[in-house]
Amino acid sequence: MLLVAADLEIDTDVYELRRDGKIVPIEPLVFDFISFLAQNPGRLVTRKEIVEHVWDGRIVSDATVTGCLKLARQALGDTGKDQRIIRTVRARGFQFIADVEQVERFDAAGAAHKGLESETQTDESPSIAAVGGDTPARARPAVAVLPFNNMSDDPEQEYFADGLTEEIINTLAQFRDVLVAARNSTFRYKNKPADMRTIADELGVGFVLEGSVRKAGSTIRITTQLIERERGTHIFSGNYDRKLTATNLFEIQDDIAARVAAEIADPHGAISRRSNQAHRWRTDNLDAYECALAAMEYWRMPTETVHAVTRSRLEKAVELDPHYATAWAMLAILYGDEVRGGFNVRPETPPLERALEAASRAVKIDPLNAMGYYALFMVPLVPVI
């Protein structure tokens, strides 16, 4: 679905916000906030509706919603004073007051589609993020990675299963010959029993990868199975029983992603072109890696409480491994959110100075670290409330 409002383009097909034709870096949760309002132009949308749609009905504070609103206005080039795009109706909700036009897309046969309103979905589904390379989207198979089930005795290990799922998504996305469903699309199925073919149809993918994680002491078991939508058959199943180390976890992630790519796409060149520099953004320290996995919860629920816990975990991660580029990049974003979201500000050192230093460290350690450059870009973007 492509929504156009003033100088803005909200493209749910690729989870992208553009302003004056330029891509605006935006967190997935904030994009969901904007796109939901834009799909209901002129209508007063209550906070309850926002929480139900954006946070899947989880309990969040008014401060969390307000923080998301600040980031949304910043991304849209709007302010709380002007309210030219999003209007706040005190104690009631929000209105997307800019005029919105839904632009039709056309397939190769000339048939018009309107994103989620089309009766059938193809591999160009709104849930698919076209990642990597210049291979035409229509030529690439699409896969969705569902949240892995936490089979450990400790429910507190839920973060580990979620983090591992996201890592596999990110690793799989490196293959230019494969389309990967965005994590926000797949995580809505977490803890919700559903038929795999139904999920594939809803996401517009041809394949679904599911799995489970069990941590027991110093060992870990990860199981996976890849399912083809058309025939409803299992293409492969994999079991990994390993000693719990960071190196083993990365090897498992790489193996799962490579096997999926090899099964559903032409692997020639894709696997062999995998960067030999991957170690730069990874770590051999298991404790540091677990801290980073736990920090991924913040991307799904950026509340002040989760922010405080996540910031502490990431600071521990870079203390354990000062050369962990991705942890530095994530920490830079957290420091920036002290200003952007007004979360847990430490007055002794200016947040943006800490954010800039952390982001700079990330790209110095790994010049190819995309999150590091994203953090550098975000540092000067301080919202006007």
**Residues 132-179: tens digit of each pLDDT:** 333 333 346 788 999 998 888 777 778 888 888 888 887 787 766 678
Q: In what order do the strands lie in the sheet with 86-89?
A: 45-46, 93-96, 86-89
**So what's the pLDDT on residue 380?**
57
What are the 10-residue block averages of pLDDT along the chain, 385 residues in total? 86 80 79 91 91 79 81 88 90 90 52 32 38 41 88 80 84 73 82 82 87 86 88 81 83 81 52 38 74 76 86 91 89 87 84 89 79 70 43
| Integer CA distances (angstroms), 185 to 13, 123, 378, in order | 11, 14, 24
Superfamily in which the 278-378 domain is placed by CATH: Tetratricopeptide repeat domain (1.25.40.10)
> Residue 90 in contact with residue 44, Cβ under 8 Å?
no
Q: What is the CA radius of gyration of the chain?
A: 21
**So what's the pLDDT on residue 140?**
64
**So what's the pLDDT on residue 104?**
57
Read off the tokens for 251: 């090897």
**So what's the pLDDT on residue 29?**
78
Say which DSSP state 232 is in: -
Give the closest residue to 60 by CA, choosing from 312, 294, 300, 340. 300
H/E stretch holding 261 reads helix 246-264
Give the closest residue to 149 by CA, choosing from 232, 214, 53. 214
Phi, psi of 248 (to 5 degrees): -65, -40
> Residue 382 in contact with residue 79, Cβ under 8 Å?
no
CATH fold group of domain 121-264: Rossmann fold (3.40.50)
pTM of the model: 0.46
Read off the tokens for 159: 């973060």
Domain boundaries, given as residue ranges, for the chain: 2-102, 121-264, 278-378
Q: Compute the distance between CA of residue 376 and CA of residue 336 in angstroms, rounded to an integer.
A: 10
Contacts of 51 (CB under 8 A, 6+ apart): 57, 58, 60, 65
CATH fold group of domain 2-102: Arc Repressor Mutant, subunit A (1.10.10)
Q: Label the pairing between strands 234-243 and 219-228.
A: antiparallel
Give DSSP secondary structure letters for 65-98: HHHHHHHHHHHHT--TTT-SSEEEETTTEEEE-S
